Structure 1
Amino acid sequence: MDLITERKGGAVIHRIAGRLDTATSAAAERSILGAMAPGQSRVLLDMREVAYVSSAGLRVVLLAAKHAKAAAGGVALFGLQPAVRDVFDISGFSRILAIAPGEAEAAAMLGA
């Protein structure tokens, strides 16, 4: 897994590539939660290059959403591949998380 973090407007964008699974979830969690600072609780997860998400990856996304919400922010995902979108749909996460087709729409969902 590769993860690049950038700040854009009022959001922190994490561009993730590869697999988000047991082997990579700890590093992803450290990066995503570590980038949350006062005033930086609007988080966008760029999932365009994520090929696979396991339950450990779902946990990372859920933790990020909980931490962001506690800091008066939020998390929005965008660019999910069909197989990854299926995982979010089957797990019920697509009903509790903001998911958009593109970056601009995801940013708008968070007011960023």
Structure 2
Amino acid sequence: MPIAIEPTGKAHIITLQGQVNSSNAATVEAELLHILQTGARNVLLGMTDLSDISGAGLRVVVVLAKRLRQTGGKLVIYGMQPQVREVFDLCGFLAVLNVAATRAEALEQF
């Protein structure tokens, strides 16, 4: 599961590709938390190239959002594919997470 990281003036843009599931969720979580340890406070999480997410993947996103809130930061998710958006919706996460359709809309939230 490749993760691309692009620091900008407003936020770190992190792009997930492929799938986040029980076989790689721990690795993804470790990489994301490492980014926070290096000083990232505002994160855009791009899901344009994410084809599937499991419960383990959802947990990773929730942990990331919680850690950012604890440090005064913010998480904005953008570019959810319909099948990924449906998983977030069924779990009720769309109501509690910041979600934007595009990267440009997500950046406007900072």
Q: Which runs of no fewer than 5 residues in structure 2 stay unpaired?
A: none
**Letter paired with 2:51:** A
Deviation track 1:2-33 (CA, whole Å, cap 9, x = no partner) reads 11112012211111100011111111101111
| 2:99 pairs with 1:99 | yes
Q: What is the Cα-based RMSD across aligned positions, in Å?
A: 1.2
Partner of 1:4: 4
Deviation track 1:26-75 (CA, whole Å, cap 9, x = no partner) reads 11101111101475210111100000000000000000000000110111
- Matched position secondary structure for 1:6: strand
Instruction: Tell me, in whole angstroms, the C-alpha distance in 2 between the residues paired with 1:39 and 1:4.
Output: 17
**Letter paired with 2:72:** A
Q: TM-score, normalised by structure 2?
A: 0.94
- Matched position secondary structure for 2:17: strand
Q: Across the two proteins, how many residue pairs are aligned to each other?
A: 110
Instruction: Tell me, in whole angstroms, the C-alpha distance in 2 between the residues paired with 1:2 and 1:60.
Output: 15
Instruction: Tell me, in whole angstroms, the C-alpha distance in 1 between the residues paired with 2:54 and 2:26.
Output: 13
Instruction: Tell me, in whole angstroms, the C-alpha distance in 2 between the residues paired with 1:48 and 1:36.
Output: 22
**Letter paired with 2:43:** V
Instruction: Tell me, in whole angstroms, the C-alpha distance in 1 between the residues paired with 2:48 and 2:82.
Output: 10
Instruction: Tell me, in whole angstroms, the C-alpha distance in 1 between the residues paired with 2:38 and 2:84.
Output: 31
Partner of 1:87: 87
Instruction: Tell me, in whole angstroms, the C-alpha distance in 2 between the residues paired with 1:52 and 1:11.
Output: 24
Cα offset for 1:104? 1.4
Q: TM-score, normalised by structure 1?
A: 0.93
Retained in 2: the 8 A contact 1:10–1:40? no
